Chain A
């Protein structure tokens, strides 16, 4: 439970204290504007919010504990389901953390890095498109929702081509890009999408719309100092004018070798967070174009590390299955079985690996006791931390601004509750 002071769960105690002038409104957990199963106990004086207390945990599935009870490669499948609007970004964060724990970051081939960056940036585009659609829908721009999801369908199609799944991608593997590489023509399709992607519709309908500006400008303002002290990351922090992006500040993959700008807002209100995210969409397409060009140059090079402890052998070497029996390579077969049964055992120690996910700083913290199963896994999810600033942001605002504020923080409850 996040808030200034703990309140009784259920809210009955609060209701008894409410006077004639004040009331407690239970926003959610089944409310379309709470973007999932978020419940906010909102204390109102008239229509002004005096205190808001987010109550979370309705979507808790114990992802961290599940990861702690399984092999490292199993954990990948659960990361899709934390921030499900941008699954590849989560996958990338997870494998980078495991690779850091294993100490094999230097062995990852260049091409795998660029494929990961393309996927992560596609994840950012799809995550931001879900946000712009639902944020618009919350504030009455119904048509925005349709246009954002129309664009997102194209990204889902690109996921489907390379991973086979439209939502829960589970694609990359520790040590590279996995058994399946990018299929022929995929890079062309990605480039086509990046070239054709335009924000004209969004800009014409929302950015320059006076009604949109009235609803968002000057609402839920947070200063740079407060944003830092609340631990905000991602567009919420940059909307307040702090130039902090992990892709620039602590580059991972090959972000230090591509050219892009970090959009920074000024006012720290809902509108400036909106503008930051719109500009990030542009920057993502720009990064994708550079990565596609680079991946084309590296076409034909391996996408997996030459590390037999982590990467299983090619299936053709294992499975020469014929009626006469297995004709495959015996050593490859043993290697294949060893990796799939035992997984890989990082040395004892801990590691913290943070990436810039669409929502902010997404980090995986692992403690290894030297076995194939993580001793501790903690997910530092940006949505959870950003949601902590909600009581501060909405205090003193009108109830209708609460909806705009929740939308502008861009939370995904799958990630908040994990």
Chain B
């Protein structure tokens, strides 16, 4: 075993690895499948009966968020029922920890597998509940589809 045998056997190993089956996914032509629990963009469930927002405006997600992503404005009807006037989700601040999804007491916030979320404009990332419901229903579509080219 003279000097250099280790180098040569290493080189042979490197060359032999070149003949192994590649593990690369050719993104975006064939995207890698994501796990069932994949934490993509936070989505919103649409109420099955009314077709509207299923959020009850309790504000627990606002509290649970460590990064001030969510802002909910609510108002009350004359009968004292609270309803959500505006649900705002700043995706640019979201760290995808999913504490809000865990905190939601009515399962309104949902996990989606959506991860095509890029945009050149930061202001676009401030989402409304409608955007979140749309992404829950079509998680494989890019969030900003008009920017997406094949």
Contact = CB atoms under 8 A, between A and B. Distances in A.
Interface string A163-198: 111001010000000111001000000000000000
B64 to A, nearest CB: 5
B19 interface: no
A143 B60 CA distance: 49
A209 B107 CA distance: 56
Given A150-B23, A170-B97, A208-B10, A164 B105 contact: no
A337 B37 contact: no
A70 B7 contact: no
A394 B50 CA distance: 69
Given A201-B17, A319-B107, A161 B95 contact: no
Contact of A164 (B7, B10, B111): B111
A194 B10 CA distance: 24
A209 B7 CA distance: 5
Interface string A257-293: 0000000000000000000000000000000000000
A180 B4 contact: no
B34 interface: yes
B60 A168 contact: no
A165 B96 contact: yes
A329 to B, nearest CB: 11
Given A153-B23, A315-B107, A211 B7 contact: yes
A147 B66 contact: no
Interface stretch (A71-79, A237-245, A348-356, A375-383): A71-79
Interface in A54-80: 70, 73-74, 76-78
A67 to B, nearest CB: 10
Nearest to A315: B107
**Interface size of B as a range:** 35 or more
Contacts of A418: none
Nearest to A159: B35
Contact of B66 (A70, A205, A213, A333): A70
B6 A161 contact: no
B99 interface: yes
Given A164-B38, A341-B60, A73 B98 contact: no
Contact of A180 (B10, B23, B37, B49): B37
Contacts of B97: 76-77, 168, 170
A304 to B, nearest CB: 13
Contacts of B5: 210
Contacts of A201: 13, 17
Nearest to A211: B7
Interface in B44-100: 47-50, 54, 58, 60, 63-64, 66-67, 95-99
B142 to A, nearest CB: 20
B150 interface: no
A148 to B, nearest CB: 12
B135 to A, nearest CB: 16
Given A321-B106, A333-B105, A340 B63 contact: yes
Contact of A210 (B4, B35, B39): B4
Given A73-B99, A77-B97, A319-B105, A340 B64 contact: yes
Given A73-B99, A341-B60, A183 B7 contact: no
B9 A204 contact: yes
Given A73-B99, A164-B38, A210 B106 contact: no
A162 interface: yes
Interface residues of A, number: 46
B137 interface: no
Nearest to B18: A143
Nearest to A320: B106
B14 interface: yes
Contacts of A333: 105
A323 B50 CA distance: 9
Given A161-B37, A164-B39, A315-B107, A340 B60 contact: yes
B36 interface: yes
Nearest to A146: B17
Nearest to B23: A150
Contacts of A15: none
B102 interface: yes
Given A321-B54, A337-B60, A340-B60, A210 B6 contact: yes
A211 B8 CA distance: 11
Contacts of B7: 209-211
Interface of A: 70, 73-74, 76-78, 143, 147, 150, 153, 157, 160-165, 168, 170, 178-180, 183, 201, 204-206, 208-213, 312, 315, 318-319, 321, 323, 326, 328, 333, 336-337, 340-341
7 contacts: A160-B37, A160-B38, A164-B98, A183-B36, A319-B104, A336-B105, A341-B60
5 closest A-B pairs by CB: A164-B39, A74-B66, A164-B37, A208-B6, A77-B97
